[in-house]
Amino acid sequence: MIDPSTLREARALIEAQGLRFETNIDDLVGLYENGQMIGCGARKGYVLKMLVIVPDHQGTGALGELVTRLILSGMAAGHETLFIYTAPQNASSFQALNFRLLVTQGPVALLEHGPGIEAYFNAHSSDITPGQNGAIVVNGNPFTWGHLHLVETAARQVDHLFLFVVREDLSAFPFDVRYRLAQEATAHLENLTVLDTSRYAVSAGTFPSYFLKHMDRVALAQMSLDIRLFAQRVAPRFHISSRFVGEEPLCPTTAAYNRVMSEVLQEHAIRWVMVPRLPAGGSAISATRVRTALIQNDFKTLETLVPPSTLAFLQSSAAQPIADHLRAQMSGDRS
């Protein structure tokens, strides 16, 4: 718990610097001199936020002090790698603290501290094969015939296909289930590797509004940053020259994401391929429809939407808590 008077002090400091104060944080650190707060910073998960040093204390080592505390706080919470968003002109202050620049997009620079993206690449170095490779990023919440159709179509067009499953655990189906179902459904494809995105695609760090499903200027900027990170850092390492997406008639966030993606990838000479949806029972297959059918215990419909591996999971007792949670969410939405 952060005590209210500290919160008030921090809020005044942050707003005085023209930043927006966010209350959804895990930790808040204040820096004091003679009882006066001269700087503060917050952490939400692995993202550092709202770092402020009052102007007359800048360049005094105050930032180093703040960042030390926040790194220790992150580490205690199990986060070895920490992200920070800042203005590009401030990036060098963080680079001097061993943060590394991941990507810059308009008025925002994203940097990280810790093992980070290099450790992610090293962990997957044995999966990397040269050639004209392709990539798909899916949440797979859960994995459907539609996903499989997209994956099979893409696999035929490339030397090797990397299927990235969104690592972030903010969906109805937990990551380990989504990852396993993606692996099981695609096990027959020899030129395919299933990988986790870590934090480097569609994560709460790179694209938080994906999980909120709202659409505004901020969401569009986040999408653009997320895709730039993929195009500039991830794609070159995995020799990815094509990215495949499913056509998106239902979800406005994903549809907008696809639009931004086609523009940004073109800038980076990465081929962008949209694969039309597979229709089932008169309308397109989507994970949303799967979740609705699951809520209604409608296994006849589920059979037409998901491959046997996913169906087996949905029929198992392990899927019960997920179905119950979805039901509770739905009745919550109605009330």
Partner 1 sequence: MKIQRKASSGTMQSSDLMVVVEPSETLQIEIESTVKKQFEHLIRAQITTTLEHLGVQTGRIQISDRGALDYAIAARIETAIKRSSEE
8 A C-beta contact, residue 246 and residue 146: yes
Residue 99 or 210: which CB sits closer to partner 1? 99
Cα–Cα dist 263/247, whole Å: 16
Residue 70 or 264: which CB sits closer to partner 1? 70
Q: How far is the CB of 98 from partner 1 (least distance, A)?
A: 5
User: Tokens for 18?
Assistant: 């023209």
Phi, psi of 245 (to 5 degrees): -135, 155
Q: How far is the CB of 51 from partner 1 (least distance, A)?
A: 12
Q: How far is the CB of 68 from partner 1 (least distance, A)?
A: 4
Q: How far is the CB of 76 from partner 1 (least distance, A)?
A: 9
Q: How far is the CB of 26 from partner 1 (least distance, A)?
A: 18
Binding residues for partner 1, per CB under 8 A? 61, 64-65, 67-68, 71-72, 75, 80, 95-98, 113-115
Note the Cα 172 to chain centre separation in Å: 15
Cα–Cα dist 119/308, whole Å: 35
Residue 90 or 258: which CB sits closer to partner 1? 90
Q: Could you please report the per-residue DSSP string of 182-218?
A: HHHHTTT-TTEEEEE-TTSSS-TTT-GGGGTT--SHH
Q: How far is the CB of 42 from partner 1 (least distance, A)?
A: 17
Residue 55 or 64: which CB sits closer to partner 1? 64
8 A C-beta contact, residue 67 and residue 97: yes
Burial class (CB in 10 A: 0-12, 13-18, 19+), 67: buried
The conformation of residue 230, written as its DSSP 8-state character, comes to: I
Residue 70 or 294: which CB sits closer to partner 1? 70
Residue 27 or 65: which CB sits closer to partner 1? 65
